[in-house]
Protein backbone atom coordinates (compact mmCIF):
# COMPACT_ATOMS: atom_id res chain seq x y z
CA UNK A 1 0.00 0.00 0.00
CA UNK A 2 1.31 3.43 -0.98
CA UNK A 3 0.40 6.70 0.72
CA UNK A 4 0.61 10.44 0.24
CA UNK A 5 -0.05 13.24 2.73
CA UNK A 6 -0.13 16.94 1.86
CA UNK A 7 -0.76 19.87 4.19
CA UNK A 8 -1.20 23.50 3.16
CA UNK A 9 -2.71 26.58 4.74
CA UNK A 10 -4.75 29.31 3.07
CA UNK A 11 -6.07 32.67 4.19
CA UNK A 12 -9.47 31.69 2.74
CA UNK A 13 -12.25 30.59 5.07
CA UNK A 14 -13.32 26.94 5.33
CA UNK A 15 -16.63 27.94 3.68
CA UNK A 16 -14.84 29.27 0.59
CA UNK A 17 -12.56 26.23 0.34
CA UNK A 18 -15.48 23.86 0.88
CA UNK A 19 -17.57 25.34 -1.93
CA UNK A 20 -14.72 24.66 -4.36
CA UNK A 21 -14.19 21.08 -3.15
CA UNK A 22 -17.82 19.97 -3.49
CA UNK A 23 -18.25 21.52 -6.94
CA UNK A 24 -16.54 19.20 -9.43
CA UNK A 25 -16.97 21.80 -12.20
CA UNK A 26 -14.59 24.13 -10.32
CA UNK A 27 -11.71 21.65 -10.09
CA UNK A 28 -10.15 22.45 -13.50
CA UNK A 29 -10.03 26.12 -12.43
CA UNK A 30 -7.77 25.51 -9.45
CA UNK A 31 -6.26 22.05 -9.78
CA UNK A 32 -3.84 20.17 -11.98
CA UNK A 33 -6.68 18.31 -13.75
CA UNK A 34 -7.48 19.49 -17.27
CA UNK A 35 -11.25 19.06 -17.33
CA UNK A 36 -14.34 17.50 -15.81
CA UNK A 37 -15.61 14.69 -18.04
CA UNK A 38 -19.38 15.04 -17.63
CA UNK A 39 -20.09 12.07 -19.91
CA UNK A 40 -18.38 9.69 -17.47
CA UNK A 41 -19.47 11.46 -14.29
CA UNK A 42 -22.60 10.28 -12.44
CA UNK A 43 -25.08 12.21 -10.27
CA UNK A 44 -23.30 15.57 -10.34
CA UNK A 45 -25.32 18.26 -8.60
CA UNK A 46 -26.25 21.06 -11.04
CA UNK A 47 -25.96 23.53 -8.15
CA UNK A 48 -22.36 22.54 -7.44
CA UNK A 49 -22.84 20.56 -4.23
CA UNK A 50 -21.99 16.98 -5.21
CA UNK A 51 -23.36 14.42 -2.79
CA UNK A 52 -22.18 11.12 -1.35
CA UNK A 53 -22.31 8.54 -4.14
CA UNK A 54 -21.61 10.99 -6.98
CA UNK A 55 -18.84 9.94 -9.34
CA UNK A 56 -16.68 12.77 -10.63
CA UNK A 57 -14.60 11.94 -13.71
CA UNK A 58 -11.54 14.12 -14.32
CA UNK A 59 -9.34 14.19 -17.38
CA UNK A 60 -5.62 14.87 -17.07
CA UNK A 61 -3.89 14.55 -20.41
CA UNK A 62 -5.28 11.40 -22.04
CA UNK A 63 -6.17 9.74 -18.73
CA UNK A 64 -9.64 9.88 -17.20
CA UNK A 65 -10.05 8.89 -13.55
CA UNK A 66 -13.29 8.54 -11.63
CA UNK A 67 -13.71 9.30 -7.95
CA UNK A 68 -16.81 8.36 -5.94
CA UNK A 69 -17.63 10.57 -2.95
CA UNK A 70 -17.93 8.36 0.13
CA UNK A 71 -18.29 10.86 2.98
CA UNK A 72 -19.06 14.53 3.53
CA UNK A 73 -19.03 16.58 6.70
CA UNK A 74 -19.96 20.16 5.86
CA UNK A 75 -16.88 22.44 5.72
CA UNK A 76 -14.76 19.77 7.43
CA UNK A 77 -14.32 16.58 5.40
CA UNK A 78 -14.65 15.27 1.86
CA UNK A 79 -13.69 11.62 1.32
CA UNK A 80 -13.63 9.65 -1.92
CA UNK A 81 -12.53 6.35 -3.45
CA UNK A 82 -11.64 5.30 -6.96
CA UNK A 83 -14.58 4.46 -9.18
CA UNK A 84 -12.28 3.79 -12.12
CA UNK A 85 -8.59 4.45 -12.47
CA UNK A 86 -6.30 2.72 -14.96
CA UNK A 87 -3.15 2.97 -12.85
CA UNK A 88 -4.37 2.56 -9.24
CA UNK A 89 -6.82 0.46 -7.30
CA UNK A 90 -8.16 0.40 -3.75
CA UNK A 91 -7.62 4.16 -3.73
CA UNK A 92 -9.11 6.09 -0.83
CA UNK A 93 -8.53 9.75 -0.05
CA UNK A 94 -9.65 12.30 2.50
CA UNK A 95 -9.56 16.09 2.44
CA UNK A 96 -9.84 17.59 5.91
CA UNK A 97 -10.42 21.31 6.54
CA UNK A 98 -9.68 22.94 9.87
CA UNK A 99 -10.16 26.62 10.71
CA UNK A 100 -6.97 28.42 11.72
CA UNK A 101 -6.61 31.05 14.46
CA UNK A 102 -6.20 33.72 11.75
CA UNK A 103 -9.61 32.89 10.15
CA UNK A 104 -8.00 30.86 7.38
CA UNK A 105 -8.06 27.14 6.67
CA UNK A 106 -5.60 24.31 7.19
CA UNK A 107 -6.04 21.74 4.41
CA UNK A 108 -4.86 18.16 4.79
CA UNK A 109 -5.23 15.98 1.68
CA UNK A 110 -4.11 12.40 2.11
CA UNK A 111 -4.76 8.98 0.69
CA UNK A 112 -3.63 5.43 0.11
CA UNK A 113 -3.67 3.19 -2.94
CA UNK A 114 -2.24 0.13 -4.61
CA UNK A 115 -0.62 -0.03 -8.00
CA UNK A 116 1.37 -2.45 -10.11
CA UNK A 117 4.91 -3.32 -9.09
CA UNK A 118 6.26 -1.43 -12.11
CA UNK A 119 4.32 1.75 -11.28
CA UNK A 120 5.19 1.30 -7.62
CA UNK A 121 8.67 2.60 -8.41
CA UNK A 122 7.49 5.95 -9.80
CA UNK A 123 3.90 6.49 -8.67
CA UNK A 124 4.53 7.43 -5.01
CA UNK A 125 6.85 10.34 -5.85
CA UNK A 126 4.69 11.45 -8.78
CA UNK A 127 1.42 11.32 -6.86
CA UNK A 128 2.84 13.16 -3.83
CA UNK A 129 3.92 15.99 -6.16
CA UNK A 130 0.62 15.91 -8.09
CA UNK A 131 -1.45 16.08 -4.92
CA UNK A 132 0.70 18.91 -3.53
CA UNK A 133 -0.15 20.81 -6.72
CA UNK A 134 -3.84 20.08 -6.17
CA UNK A 135 -3.82 21.32 -2.57
CA UNK A 136 -1.72 24.40 -3.32
CA UNK A 137 -3.93 25.27 -6.29
CA UNK A 138 -7.03 24.97 -4.10
CA UNK A 139 -5.49 27.20 -1.43
CA UNK A 140 -4.43 29.92 -3.91
CA UNK A 141 -7.69 29.91 -5.87
CA UNK A 142 -9.78 30.05 -2.69
CA UNK A 143 -7.83 33.13 -1.59
CA UNK A 144 -8.33 34.81 -4.97
CA UNK A 145 -12.02 33.97 -5.01
CA UNK A 146 -12.55 35.23 -1.46
CA UNK A 147 -10.76 38.51 -2.10
CA UNK A 148 -12.86 39.17 -5.23
CA UNK A 149 -16.18 38.73 -3.40
Q: What is the per-residue burial (b if ≥16 Cβ within 10 Å, else e) of 11-26?
A: bbbbebbbbbbbbbbb
pLDDT digits (tens, 9 = 90+) for 14-64: 999 999 999 999 999 999 899 999 999 999 999 999 999 999 999 999 989
Q: Do the Cβ atoms of 72 and 64 come closer than 8 Å?
A: no
**Would you state the pLDDT for residue 96?**
98
The domain ranges of the chain are 2-147
Any idea which fold 2-147 has? Answer: Alpha-D-Glucose-1,6-Bisphosphate; Chain A, domain 4 (3.30.530)
Q: How far apart are CA 63 and CA 43, in angstroms?
A: 21
Whole-prediction pTM value? 0.91
Q: Is the pLDDT of residue 116 over 90?
A: no
Amino acid sequence: MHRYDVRVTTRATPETVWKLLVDAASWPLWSTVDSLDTTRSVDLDPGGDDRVGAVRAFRTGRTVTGERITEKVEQRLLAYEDAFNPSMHNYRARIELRPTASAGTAIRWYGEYETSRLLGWVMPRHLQKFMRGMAEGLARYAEERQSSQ
